[in-house]
Structure formats: C-alpha cells, structure tokens
A and B are shown apart, each in its own frame.
Chain A
Amino acid sequence: MRYGRCGLVRARLFGTMDRRGFLVASSSALLLGAAGGMRSAKAATTVTLVGWEGYDKPLEAYLKANSITLDPTYIGDSNQIISKLTSGGVGRVDLVTPNVTYVPLLVKLNTLAAVDESKVPNLKNVHPFFLGNPSIRIDGKLYAVPYVWGGVPMMYDPGAIAEPQSWSDVLKPEYKGKVSMLDNLNNIQLAARVVTDAKVPTRLTHQQLKDAVDFLIKVKGQTRVLATSYGDMADALARGEAVITFNGWEVVVKKAADKGKKVAYTYPKEGTFGWMDCYCVVRDAPNNDVAHALANEALSEPVQLKAGEGELLGILNTDAIKKLPAAARALYPYDDLEGFSKKVGFFPVAPLKAEGDIASFDDWKKEYLRFKNA
C-alpha cells in the first residue's frame, strides 16, 4: 500500500500500476536479482521484504530498536509477489505482504512457509472476524498473518445524486460522462455480481467471464477517464467531474473531504469484494525467526495504531481499534463488521488452471485485456 507524499498516489491498486510504480517495481526486480548472489554475505538481521510501499513505515521504530535492516522491494500488485517468488525468490526473500485472496495460490505454488503460531503471540489480539478468513489457514496450517484491510465500496456525491443501490446504476443515462472507474482487473468480480448468477465471483465459467467483461466495457463507455489511482478518483469527485464510481475505497471520503468535497460510500446490494493484506513468511526464508518477529510486531498495538491513524488503513488489533481517533475510526465499519461481512467477500483469485468450464486466472487476464483494448 502506498500513501504518497503528494497525497493519495495509489492507496490500493488491485492490479493496476502507475508509471512510477512500474519503474520502482522493475528496478527493484533487477536489484533483487542482482542482490541475490550477495545475500549470504549480508548480516543476519537484514530482512528481505517484497510488499506494498508504506507497510514498513509503522515498523520503523521496532526495526531501529532491534538493529534490523529491511531490504524492501515494493510492488504495484500482489501478482508481482508470485512472479518474484516463482522466479528465484524462494530461499532469498523472507517476507511478503500479499492480499489474502492470493494466499491459497501462493501456497499451491509452494512458495510460503506455515507460520509458527507460537512465535506470533499478538495473533490473540486480532479481531475474530479477520482470523476467521478461510484463506489464511490451509489444511489446518496458518500461512498468513493478517495486517490491514479494506473494502471496495461505490463512492458517490451525495450533493448531486441519491444513494445508489446497485453497481449497474453507473449505466443510467444521466450519469453518462460522470462515472469514475478504476482500471482494475478485479472489477470483473463486481461485474460478475451484476450480470451472472455465480455464487463465487472469482469462479466464473468462460461465458460468465465474457458477460462480466462485456458489462465492464459498457461501464467504460459511461466514463470520461479511467482513474489510475484512488487519488485520481478523489480528485474527480472533488472537482465535480464524477458523481458516482465503479470500484472505490473508504478512504476516498477523507481525501475528497481534504479538498473540500463531501463524498459518501455505499456497498451496493449485489455486494462487493474486500482485501486484507497479510504478512507471510516465505518458504526457506533466510531469516525465518526475524520474519516471524516482524509479522508479530505488525500486529502490536502501537504499529496497528500507526497504520490506522498515519496510513489510514483498516486495522484489526482490537485494542488498537478502540484507541483510534474518531476521524480514522469513522473511515471503516469497525462497529459493524458482521454487517460488513454480509456485503463484502474475500474470495481467492481465479484458479491457476482452468477447472472444467471454470476460467483460469490467465483467462481473466486475457479477457481484461479485451476491456483495455475496447
């Protein structure tokens, strides 16, 4: 997750990448590869992390106090974690911070180590709602330590329109040219909820996948511009160029408010998807113990407070949630997580290979390219 110095550059990308992100990621990939050979010569307390920019910031004090040097490679998408680990990262990288929806895939690819829960005592402070996510525990073993979370609501301008009810409201003729849409592959999940009867929006047949992308192309026709980041989206809402969005993030409310615009969000009746980024220890991590210690520290109250207040992320330490300032607390539905769970799903990404008529993740990417090309 990144929360740039110049405002909300790219808070949560879910599959898109800006130019800077691309450059950082590609340079980091090269550096990671080049540094690989030197890894053994480094001190034992140099921990290699592949994850979202900004997640390491709340850990700075702990790193300094324990003389741990972090060697980070920042990503623009959880896909890049898979790429790094499957192309020589296992055995070199210690920690990764994927979205929980990618964890089953990472486990299937044999890239993650099971977490030794005795080394992560702070797990006891995690709200049960997040610990109950089925993707973090596979075959009884814990593979992911939840860190931060958020949902993907529909943003709207309450001064201009009534609260929308459905994702398909963006197709209303009166919103032509007033829709902001994030360029993001996971929009397929949202579209699938509208135009298909799939129970799990990441397990779509080829026809359902095609229908979902056809719907996205129609939505694209309603927009003037595709947002490259949630910052862009907040700007468009603040300027009045958009009154309704397809995809969103709770924090856009705060960013628009900073620009003097009141924006609201809703979880449409079809439901939406959520994200929960986790600390995962990589298989054969050179610094397994320190990696566990960092994952544990990420759940500590001070670190969680910094993540919630400073980085505006959804946090999950119950004590820290209680101490959050009102403004940061108001951003997420902390008081109604049960209601949140009924509207928001954390579905594992599409299968690695096609399963019968169920489309694979590669099929999703090909179809999404059709959307980009439309």
Chain B
Amino acid sequence: MSTAYRSALLVAPSLLIFSGLFIAPTLYFLLVSFWRFESYELIREFNLGNYREVARDYVALGIYTLFIATIVSLSAVTLGFIYAYIARFKAGRFGSIMLFVALISLFGGYLMKVYAWRTILGTEGIINNALLGLGIVSEPVTWLLYNPPSVVLTLTNFLFPFAMLPIAASMRGIHDSELESARDLGAPFTAILFDHVIPRCKTGITTGFALCFLIACGDWVTPVLVGGRMTMLGNLIAAQFGEFLNWPLGAAMSFSLLATAFLVVLTFSQVMRVFDWR
C-alpha cells in the first residue's frame, strides 16, 4: 500500500464525519436561505428575498452585534494575554496550576456562568448586599444588570479561557533566555512585549480572537438572561428557527452574520501583521 493511499485511508473517517456533520448541513442551510417560507410551507424556489430583507431591516442590528462581539473578544484576548503572560513568565511552578484553573472553568457550564453573573449583579446579589452592608447605598442599585455592559462582562468571563489557552500555547515556544537576553541588552519591557512576545504569539492571539468573536456573534442566551431589553442578531435568528419556523430567513441571517464575522476576523489578522516587521 502506497504512503499516499494509506494517508488518504487514515484521513477518510475524519473527513466523512466532518462532511456529514458540518459541511453537508451547512450547505443545506445555505440552500434553504434562498428558499422562502410561506403559510407553513417551505417554497423551494430560488430567490434573494431573504438576503434583501436582511440588508433592508437588520443591518443596524448586525453592526451592533459585531460591535458587542468585538468588545467582548478584545477584552477576552487582553485579559487572556495578561493571564497567560503571568502564568508563563512570572508564576514559576504555579503557572501550570493557573492554566489548569482556567481550563477547569470551562467545565462549569455556560448557563451556570450566565446565571452566576445574574446573581452577582442582581438587586439581591453580592455586590448590592456589600454596598448596602457598607452603607454606601440605601437601596439596591439596579443599573448593574440588564444592560449591554452586563452582557459584555458575562461573555468576557465565559470566553476568557478560549482566548487565553491558544495564547498560552504560543507562549510556550518562547524561551526564558530570549527575554533575559533582551533585558540584558537594555530593552525596556514595552519593547520586549511589542517587539518579541506579541509577534511570537500572533497566531495564538488571532486564534483566540477568532474563537471568541465567532461565539460572541452568534450568542443569544446571554442577552436574554442578562441583557434586559437588549437584542443581538442571534436572538432574531433563534426566533426564526424556533417560534416563527422561518428557516429560510433564519438561514439568510446566519450566513450574512457569518460572512461579516469572517471579514472582521480577517481584518483582525491583517491588523496583527503590523507586528511582522518587528
């Protein structure tokens, strides 16, 4: 058996699973996005009506969703970078424990984190109890919850490990002696950071940003539970697939969001190229 044939045979199961569980459904929904739903009937006629509707009615909401997702992703990447840096270069033998703690937080579950923040920020939460106990306020503060910042906070907390772990993986390739040499040669911290560490972590940072951004873009549970009246495009997509059963419009919204999200990720990766010359 030739090497090429053996390789193809080994890859085949993964390729089959990936095609069956991801590519085929994606292509199907892409096709559905060009159909229409009328009176509980899926009309299989090719048309661009759903995309026209998205362009006409949901551009503002789409931009708002991308804006929120960008803030969340940048926050998660920044915090993730700091955390990974401390774990790699400052925490010594506790670095592995720090990574393990961040990793284990993924097992807490998504909804549990959302509800935890709802409890923390709510009128009967820890913050309000502390403020009341210290006599700083006379009645619970209501603006902590049910607004866009609480959505950003909750999503950042949830997505933090997704941003941190790829960056931490990139930093493993940086040897201590490289930084020590730079310091010995008189390089200030900022120069070491921008000229050496960040360029070496570019892949990890981009991967972390992409993971966070794509998840945040499509999220619809967090706005419902902690966002108050706030709506993101994901909420409308969920409604189309759920209560309204309008899969074609829901699919068109999804692919429009996906396409613009890829553009943002692409832009971010291009921006990261400014570190190339260093």
Contact = CB atoms under 8 A, between A and B. Distances in A.
Which of B39, B111, B236, B245 has the largest count of A CB atoms less than 10 A from its CB? Answer: B39
A90 B57 CA distance: 36
Interface residues of B, number: 30
Contact of B39 (A17, A224, A240, A362): A362
B127 to A, nearest CB: 15
A362 B38 contact: yes
Interface string A231-243: 0000000011100
Task: Please report whether the interface of chain B is mostly helix, strand, loop or mixed according to DSSP.
Answer: loop
Contacts of B235: 372
Given A79-B245, A241-B123, A362-B39, A373 B229 contact: no
A306 to B, nearest CB: 29
Contact of A369 (B38, B228, B229, B244): B244
Given A224-B229, A225-B146, A372-B231, A22 B238 contact: yes
A239 B128 CA distance: 13
A277 to B, nearest CB: 17
A10 interface: no
Given A82-B40, A224-B146, A372 B239 contact: yes
A212 B40 CA distance: 24
A19 interface: yes
A50 to B, nearest CB: 14
Contact of B243 (A17, A353, A361): A17
A171 interface: no
B50 to A, nearest CB: 12
Interface in A192-232: 220, 223-226, 228
Contact of B40 (A83, A223, A224): A83
Interface string A85-126: 010000000000000000000000100000000000000000
A77 B243 CA distance: 7
A335 B235 CA distance: 42
B264 to A, nearest CB: 21
Given A16-B243, A19-B221, A225 B40 contact: no
Nearest to A221: B229
A155 to B, nearest CB: 19
B40 A372 contact: no
B224 interface: yes
A145 B6 CA distance: 63
A202 to B, nearest CB: 16
B124 interface: yes
Contacts of A361: 39
A225 B228 contact: yes
A159 interface: no
A25 interface: yes
Given A15-B243, A241-B123, A365-B244, A373 B57 contact: yes
A360 interface: yes
8 contacts: A25-B242, A177-B142, A223-B228, A224-B146, A225-B228, A239-B122, A241-B142, A362-B39
Given A365-B244, A373-B61, 19 more contacts: A22-B238, A22-B242, A76-B242, A76-B243, A77-B242, A79-B243, A80-B245, A86-B40, A185-B243, A223-B229, A224-B228, A239-B123, A240-B123, A352-B39, A362-B38, A362-B39, A369-B244, A372-B231, A372-B236
